[in-house]
């Protein structure tokens, strides 16, 4: 992947100046997003057309509430979940699974609950500031539950009500403006009780639709930085793209993700470990995309044989860390309640040092 100079809309540019190091764009709500774009011209050109239909990223690097820190004796919950564009009840998920009360006047995390980072796919944002768009190849049809979805399910509003740090980067619109719902875009998001730093966006090779992986770092107990990444791959490509790429949809996108993360690490600031929470949309445990991820993230837990979208092994958590860095994942498992989504989430506890679970 190549570093990209974004345009005013929040899209990575395609000019020669885009190769200059560490170009950033101010987000709509503070903070900076560092962009990386796919290396092939056809991917960059198509992605630029899709990007012109969405709004700017939203970044709130610090939680507005006070939460416990990640300590050696208190692990960090890392969770991945595809929220089905308003179909999944995120606030109920936060309450039941992570012990966070978002009601007005609530104190925050319940006693006994750990700090967490939640990596989301199919998060959505509703805003009248989004560009007006009609039906076009760059505007996918509306997805998610039928009928209107309450504005309170907007990922930006949820982060504000719950007092969480947020990085949200849209990938595409959720339907044209001729549809039944107000203007929406969709993408990946990271919600965290810990402060976030160094947000990055990785514009993956474009197959059926535009996919932008989102990353941000958190401080481990010893002060080292650990990057958290939310990523979502395509289920299948279009007929034309299948002919062009030999039906290597998720393999191409996975290779782009790995390359982009390596470039981000080379650019700094240094990270000692990376956790990827993904909906890879993989159909089988031996699929090429999963083999590539296991090779690049050798400290990942083994798949437990439980599907997360029906019987399919779609959702995963992967880990890699520098030699000698004592990071490890325990209690890796599927979350049994889907909370209205079409996916089950996955969770694990990330430890640094010799901490052990209760």
- Across the strands, what pairs with 273? 226, 321
Neighbouring CB atoms inside 10 A of 113's CB total 18
Q: Helix and strand tally (H, E) in the chain?
A: 6, 15
Residue 10's SS3 state is coil
Q: What is the pLDDT of residues 103-129, one digit of tens each?
A: 877 768 999 999 999 999 999 999 989
Distances (CA, A) of 197 to 32, 63, 255: 9, 12, 25
Rounded mean pLDDT, 172-201: 92
Rounded mean pLDDT, 155-175: 96
Radius of gyration of the chain (CA): 19
Phi/psi for 195 (5° steps) reads -60, 145
Residue 240, pLDDT score: 55
Residue 22's SS3 state is coil
Cβ partners under 8 Å of residue 247, min gap 6: 237
For the cut 60, the answer to whether the pLDDT of residue 250 exceeds it is yes
Residue 24, pLDDT score: 47
Residue 236, pLDDT score: 81
Whether this prediction's pTM lies above 0.75 is answered by: yes
For the cut 70, the answer to whether the pLDDT of residue 242 exceeds it is no
Residue 146, pLDDT score: 66
| 241 vs 30, higher pLDDT | 241
The second-level CATH assignment, the architecture, of 2-352 is 4-Layer Sandwich (3.60)
| 187 vs 17, higher pLDDT | 187
Give CA–CA dist 75/301, Å, rounded.
16
Summary mean pLDDT of the chain: 88
Query: H-helix or E-strand containing 184?
Result: strand 184-192
Count the helix, strand and coil residues of the chain and give each as a percent rounded to the nearest 5. Answer: 20, 30, 50
For the cut 90, the answer to whether the pLDDT of residue 238 exceeds it is no
| 146 vs 243, higher pLDDT | 146
Rounded mean pLDDT, 183-196: 97
Q: What is the pLDDT of residues 5-38, one digit of tens each?
A: 554 456 775 443 333 333 344 454 545 899 999 9
Where exactly are the structural domains of the chain?
2-352
| Cα atoms in the Cβ-side hemisphere of radius 13 Å centred on 157 | 13
Query: H-helix or E-strand containing 212?
Result: strand 212-219
Rounded mean pLDDT, 263-277: 96
| Cα atoms in the Cβ-side hemisphere of radius 13 Å centred on 181 | 24
Residue 247, pLDDT score: 60
Which residue from 210, 162, 208 is spatially nearest to 186, judged by alpha carbons?
210
Residue 186, pLDDT score: 96
CA angle 226, 232, 234 (to 5 degrees): 150
The secondary structure of residue 141, as a DSSP letter, is: P
Complete DSSP assignment for 47-98: HHHHHTTS---EEE-S-SS--PPPBTTB-EEEEEEE-TTTTS-HHHHHHHHH
Give CA–CA dist 127/124, Å, rounded.
10
Residue 237, pLDDT score: 66
| 20 vs 162, higher pLDDT | 162
Q: What is the pLDDT of residues 46-94, one digit of tens each?
A: 999 999 999 999 999 999 999 999 999 989 999 999 999 989 999 999 9
Residue 147, pLDDT score: 67
For the cut 50, the answer to whether the pLDDT of residue 150 exceeds it is yes
Residue 281, pLDDT score: 96
């Amino acid at each position: 992947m190549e570093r990209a100079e974004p345009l005013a809309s929040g899209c990575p540019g395609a000019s020669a100046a885009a190769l200059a190091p560490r170009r950033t764009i101010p987000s709509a709500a503070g903070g900076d997003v560092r962009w990386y774009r796919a290396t092939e011209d056809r991917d960059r050109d198509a992605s630029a057309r899709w990007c012109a239909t969405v709004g700017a990223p939203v970044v709130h690097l610090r939680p507005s509430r006070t939460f416990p820190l990640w300590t050696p004796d208190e692990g960090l919950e890392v969770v991945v979940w595809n929220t089905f564009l308003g179909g999944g009840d995120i606030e109920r998920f936060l309450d039941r699974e992570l012990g966070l009360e978002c009601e007005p006047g609530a104190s925050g995390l319940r006693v006994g609950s750990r700090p967490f980072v939640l990596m989301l796919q199919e998060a959505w944002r509703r805003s009248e500031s989004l560009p007006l768009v009609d039906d076009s190849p760059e505007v996918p049809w509306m997805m998610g539950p039928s009928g209107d979805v309450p504005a309170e399910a907007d990922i930006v509003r949820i982060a504000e009500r719950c007092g969480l740090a947020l990085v949200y980067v849209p990938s595409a619109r959720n339907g044209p403006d001729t549809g039944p719902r107000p203007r929406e875009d969709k993408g990946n998001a990271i919600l965290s009780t810990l402060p976030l730093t160094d947000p990055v966006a990785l514009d993956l090779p474009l197959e059926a639709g535009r996919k932008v992986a989102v990353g941000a770092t958190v401080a481990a107990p010893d002060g080292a930085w650990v990057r958290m990444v939310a990523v979502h791959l395509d289920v299948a490509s279009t007929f034309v793209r299948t002919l062009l790429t030999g039906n290597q949809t998720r393999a191409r996108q996975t290779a782009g993700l790995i390359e982009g993360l390596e470039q981000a690490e080379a650019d700094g600031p240094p990270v000692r470990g990376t956790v990827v929470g993904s909906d890879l949309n993989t159909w089988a445990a031996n699929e090429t995309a999963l083999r590539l991820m296991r090779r690049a993230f050798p400290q990942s837990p083994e798949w437990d044989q439980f599907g997360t979208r029906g019987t399919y092994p779609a959702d995963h958590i992967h880990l890699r860390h520098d030699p000698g860095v004592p990071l490890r994942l325990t209690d890796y498992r599927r979350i049994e309640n889907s909370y209205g989504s079409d996916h089950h989430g996955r969770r694990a506890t990330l430890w640094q040092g010799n901490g052990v679970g209760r």
